[in-house]
Structure 1
């Protein structure tokens, strides 16, 4: 018949008889106390194992959230790339320069006259795809802006609105001053 772990350790000399008797006495005391008082004796090993399991579950949850966020970012990037590639307009490499800003740098894209006219009217917008720049219709640029606003570099209708707001602010600076009624010309 197989020996218990305790007997095997004693036989191998890894544990002594006193420690074995002490452990057995402790176990007997716990079982007696549990039976006599019907009180649950807290087992530290079980508590530690449960805490470790809870910590692992929390860590796994956090990792899954991070993976999901990364997958969502990749999906959005793929959607943007597909929108641009499907809807991009030919640049026709014309002789008209279309200037726009990418961050703090001024970039130039050479297009034909018709494309330049449509860009300035706000019917087309310039977006960034990787290291290159593409021209797409404004509704497509709106969809791209919903996903990542930084990729839409030039939209004439947005710039016109910003200029109108600036002009109205410039015109209203004197509105606070009263005009005297007794001026004689």
Structure 2
């Protein structure tokens, strides 16, 4: 079976130069088509790549969670060490030191000297192993940098809170009558 081009040449409707030009153009078009042709995408390869990316993302998230957990444990260990090394003796006194923890008033029996140091802001009450301990205030500052929830009572911040509440008393300028009885 002869091509259409050969049939046209035999019939005398086309000449050899136009046939040669037509073949050259056809080859050029085919080359351009092959050159610009995109690669055939394999669906299995794509699925494998997507699965690998998903696994990497999951591994990154798990690693990040582990790192945070390790960091949390490290901070807890640092706080525990700071408290255990720097805790001060409460003494065997009869003076009651009252402080609040989670909106509940707690008590600690201390000596008069220790009570004075706490109220002056030199000692701070911190939570330690289901109990409460006293540490120097500079150590409490280091503990607060690591874990603010360990600090239970500080006299110096309580004084600041009291001063702030006094500023909020808009009725403080009014005098209370001397003959008022309750």
Q: Same fold (TM over 0.5)?
A: yes
Deviates more, 1:138-147 or 1:116-125: 138-147
RMSD across aligned positions (CA): 1.8
Quote the Cα distance in structure 2 between the aligned partners of 1:164 and 1:39.
75
TM-score in terms of structure 2 length: 0.72
Count residues with an aligned counterpart: 140
Aligned to 2:16: none
Aligned to 2:136: 137
Unaligned 5+ segments in structure 1 are: 1-35, 175-185
Runs of 4+ residues deviating >4 angstroms: 171-174
Any residues of structure 2 matched to 1:99-138 within 5 Å, and which? 99-138=98-137
Aligned to 2:64: 65
1:126-175 deviation per Cα after TM superposition (whole angstroms, max 9, x unaligned): 0001201000000111111111111111100000111111112215776x
SS across alignment from 1:76: helix
Quote the Cα distance in structure 1 between the aligned partners of 2:51 and 2:170.
67
SS across alignment from 1:153: strand
1:17-50 deviation per Cα after TM superposition (whole angstroms, max 9, x unaligned): xxxxxxxxxxxxxxxxxxx936411011100000
TM-score in terms of structure 1 length: 0.71
Aligned to 2:39: 40
Any residues of structure 2 matched to 1:1-185 within 5 Å, and which? 37=34, 39-170=38-169
Which structure is larger by alpha-carbon Rg, 1 or 2?
2
Quote the Cα distance in structure 2 between the aligned partners of 1:173 and 1:137.
35
Unaligned 5+ segments in structure 2 are: 1-32, 174-182
